[in-house]
Amino acid sequence: MSDASHIKPATKTAPISRGARIVDVLKRDWQLYVMLLPTIIWLLLFLYKPMYGLQIAFKDYSVFRGIANSPWVGFEHFETLFNNDQFIRAIRNTVVISFWSLLIGFPVPILLALLFNEVLNQKFKKTTQTIVYLPHFISSVIIAGIVIAAFAPSAGIVNTAIRALGGDAIYFLTKPEWFRPIFIGTGIWQEAGFQSIVYLAAIAGVSPTLYESAVVDGASRWQMMWKITIPSILPTIIIMLIIRIGNILEVSFEMIILLYQPATYETADVVNTFIYRQGLQGGQYDLAAAAGLFNAVMAFTLVMAANALSKRYSRTSLW
Nearer to another protein, 212 or 266 (CB): 266
- Tell me the window of 2-10, 92-100, 222-230, 263-271 that interacts with another protein (CB under 8 A): 263-271
- In the list 50, 66, 74, 208, the residue contacting another protein (rule: CB under 8 A) is 66
171 binds another protein (CB under 8 A): yes
Q: How far apart are CA 218 and CA 191, in angstroms?
A: 37
266 binds another protein (CB under 8 A): yes
The distance of closest approach from Cβ of residue 282 to another protein in the complex, given in angstroms and rounded to an integer, is 5
262 binds another protein (CB under 8 A): yes
- In the list 247, 284, 316, 317, the residue contacting another protein (rule: CB under 8 A) is 284
Nearest Cα residue to 275 out of 86, 92, 140, 102: 86
Q: What angle do CA 66, 72, 78 make, to 5 degrees?
A: 110
282 binds another protein (CB under 8 A): yes
59 beta partners = 72
Helix, strand or coil, per DSSP, at residue 72? strand
- In the list 62, 117, 140, 232, the residue contacting another protein (rule: CB under 8 A) is 62
Q: Are 77 and 287 in contact (CB under 8 A)?
A: yes
The distance of closest approach from Cβ of residue 278 to another protein in the complex, given in angstroms and rounded to an integer, is 5
Q: How far apart are CA 60 and CA 112, in angstroms?
A: 50
Helices (H) and strands (E) in the chain, counts: 18, 0
119 binds another protein (CB under 8 A): no
173 binds another protein (CB under 8 A): yes
Q: How far apart are CA 168 and CA 190, in angstroms?
A: 28
The distance of closest approach from Cβ of residue 42 to another protein in the complex, given in angstroms and rounded to an integer, is 21
- Tell me the window of 3-11, 181-189, 258-266, 290-298 that interacts with another protein (CB under 8 A): 258-266
Number of residues that bind another protein (CB under 8 A): 31
Write each residue from 214 to 233 as x if it is in contact with another protein (CB under 8 A), else as -, in one continuous string.
Answer: --------------------
Q: How far is C-alpha 46 from the chain's CA centre?
A: 19
For residue 67, CA distances in Å to 72, 275, 287 come to 10, 19, 14
167 binds another protein (CB under 8 A): no
The distance of closest approach from Cβ of residue 236 to another protein in the complex, given in angstroms and rounded to an integer, is 40
3 binds another protein (CB under 8 A): no
- Tell me the window of 7-15, 124-132, 151-159, 212-220 that interacts with another protein (CB under 8 A): 151-159
Nearer to another protein, 147 or 303 (CB): 147
Q: How far apart are CA 246 and CA 89, in angstroms?
A: 21
Q: Are 306 and 246 in contact (CB under 8 A)?
A: yes
Residue numbers 81-110 binding another protein by CB under 8 A: 84-86
Q: How far apart are CA 176 and CA 303, in angstroms?
A: 30
- In the list 236, 267, 272, 278, the residue contacting another protein (rule: CB under 8 A) is 278
Q: How far apart are CA 245 and CA 227, in angstroms?
A: 27
Half-sphere exposure of 28 (CA within 13 A, CB side): 11
Q: Are 117 and 200 in contact (CB under 8 A)?
A: yes
Q: Where along the sequence are the contacts to another protein (CB under 8 A)?
A: 62-66, 69, 80, 84-86, 148, 152-154, 171, 173-175, 261-263, 265-266, 269, 277-278, 281-284, 287
